[in-house]
Amino acid sequence: MSEELLMIPGPVPVLPRIRNAMSKPMIYHRGEEFRAMYEEIVAALKWIFQTRNDLFVLSGSGTCAMEAAIGNLVRKDTAVVCIANGKFGERLVEIGKRYSDNVTAVNFEWGSPVELEEVKAVMEEKHPQVVTMVHNETSTGILNPAEAIARLARKYNALFVLDCITSIGGYEVPVDDWGVDIAIVGSQKCLGAPPGLSAISVSERAWEMMMGDNDNSPYYMDLIAYKDSFEKGQTPYTPALPLFFALREALEVIKEEGMAKRVERHRRLADTLRSAVTNLGLSLFPRLNEVSAYSNTVTAIKVPEWLDDAHLRGGMRERGVMVAGGQGRLKGKIFRIATMGNITEREVSRTIRALEGALRG
C-alpha cells in the first residue's frame, strides 16, 4: 500500500533526505560542530525571514515561540491589543492574558477579514505597547494584512508581534521592511521539516522593552538567555539535536529551490486547488475584503449542507489522502487542505482526485 498522503496544515510530508538527516549520531551540543550548525541554520532563517534582527531556534513547537514572544515582552500592566479572526489569533489572546491584565482583543468572526478601521479605532483608544496578529490564519484559510497592521503599530508606537507560523517559507515575509518586531515560524509547516522546533526573530526595539526587571517572564523560553548563549554558539538548554539536523537539511532544500520559486510554487498549487474545488461545486470558506486574500498555504472549504464532513474526509482517507477538519466552532462546517512545504503538482492532483472520488461517494 502506498504511504498515506498528509495534506493537513502541519505536520507536512517530510522529504526522505530531511528524515534521514535525523539518524545522524548525536554530537556535543556545547562543541564546535553544534556551533557551526546553529550558525548555518540561523543564517538561512534570517535570509528566509528577510531580517537582520537576532534570531533563535527554540526546541518547542509553534506555540512555544508564541509564548516566548509574549511572555518576554509583556508585564502585568503592559497594554496589549490582540487582533483575532480565528483559533490562532485567539490563542495569542489567551497567552496575552496569562502575562498581562491589560489585554484588549479585537475580534472578528472566524472566517471574516480584519477591518483596518476597527483596529485603528481600538489603537486610538487603548494606546497599546504591543500588538499581536496571525499572518496566515490556518484555522480559516485567510491571509491577514500584516504590512498594514505593522504600519499602524509603528504609527501608534507599539511593538508588533506577528505569528508567521504558516506563512514564512511559503510567502515572502519581509520582516525588516514591514517592521515586524517579533516574527515566529514553526518547523513542521512551510519549511518542510518535522515538528518540534520553532524560530523567533527579535528587533532592537523589542530587546529594549524586554530589558529590565521582569519576574513574570518564562524561564525555559527566556530570550535573554537565548541571546547570551547565542554569543557562544549555543542554546541555553539541551537542543533537540535530531530536529536541528533535519532543519538544517530542510533549509538546504529551500536554498536549492530559492525563495522566489518556492513562493511561486505555493501560489500555483493553491490556485490549482482552489480552481478544482470551485469547479466541483464547493465554496471557499473565508470572506475577503480589500486587504485580505485566500491563503496559499491552506485552503478552507465549506462542507455543503448535503454532505457529512466525517464521511467526506473518510472517503478521501480511503483513497489515501488525509485532510483536516474544522477546529473548534468550525468543526463539521469546513475542511482544510494544506499546500505547504515541499509538495508538488503530483500530490495536489492526487488530492483533487481523492476529493472527486469522495464526493461521488
Binding-site member from 163, 181, 249, 347 for ligand PLP (CB under 6 A): 163
DSSP-derived pairing of the beta strands 159-163 and 130-134: parallel
Say if residues 200 and 55 touch (Cβ distance below 8 Å): yes
Find the shortest distance in angstroms from Cβ 133 to ligand PLP: 10
Residue type for 220, please?
Y
Give the angle 216-71-103 at the CA atoms, nearest 5°.
95
**Shortest-Cβ-distance residue relative to ligand PLP:** 62
Give the angle 17-240-203 at the CA atoms, nearest 5°.
100
**Nine cell digits for residue 334:** 469546513
Which span (50-58, 112-120, 163-171, 231-239) binds ligand PLP, by CB under 6 A?
163-171
Residue type for 327, please?
Q
Find the shortest distance in angstroms from Cβ 284 to ligand PLP: 18
- Is 112 among the residues that bind ligand PLP (CB under 6 A)? no
Find the shortest distance in angstroms from Cβ 166 to ligand PLP: 4
- Interaction pattern, residues 46-65, with ligand PLP; x per rule: CB under 6 A: ---------------xxx--
CB nearer to ligand PLP: pick between 37 and 95: 95
Number of C-beta neighbours around residue 188 at 10 A: 25
What residues between 129 and 148 interact with ligand PLP by CB under 6 A? 134, 138
Rounded CA separation 136/259 (Å): 18
Which span (68-76, 111-119, 162-170, 216-224) binds ligand PLP, by CB under 6 A?
162-170
Find the shortest distance in angstroms from Cβ 174 to ligand PLP: 19
CB nearer to ligand PLP: pick between 66 and 358: 66
- CA distances to 41, 44, 220 from 27, rounded to whole Å, are 16, 21, 22
Find the shortest distance in angstroms from Cβ 71 to ligand PLP: 14
Which span (40-48, 67-75, 149-157, 159-167) binds ligand PLP, by CB under 6 A?
159-167
Number of C-beta neighbours around residue 127 at 10 A: 12
CB nearer to ligand PLP: pick between 61 and 342: 61
Number of C-beta neighbours around residue 281 at 10 A: 8
Applying CB under 6 A, the site for ligand PLP has a residue count of 13
- Interaction pattern, residues 62-91, with ligand PLP; x per rule: CB under 6 A: xx--x---------------------x---
Number of C-beta neighbours around residue 333 at 10 A: 15
CB nearer to ligand PLP: pick between 9 and 194: 9
Element housing 261 (H / E): helix 259-279
**Nine cell digits for residue 9:** 496544515
What residues between 167 and 196 interact with ligand PLP by CB under 6 A? 186
Of 193, 168, 201, the C-alpha closest to 245 is 193
- Is 299 among the residues that bind ligand PLP (CB under 6 A)? no
CB nearer to ligand PLP: pick between 217 and 295: 295
Binding-site member from 22, 41, 152, 165 for ligand PLP (CB under 6 A): 165
DSSP 265-308: HHHHHHHHHHHHHHHTT--B-----TT-EE-SSEEEEEPPTTS-
The residues facing 334 across adjacent strands are: 302
Residues within the interface to ligand PLP (CB under 6 A): 9-10, 61-63, 66, 88, 134, 138, 163, 165-166, 186
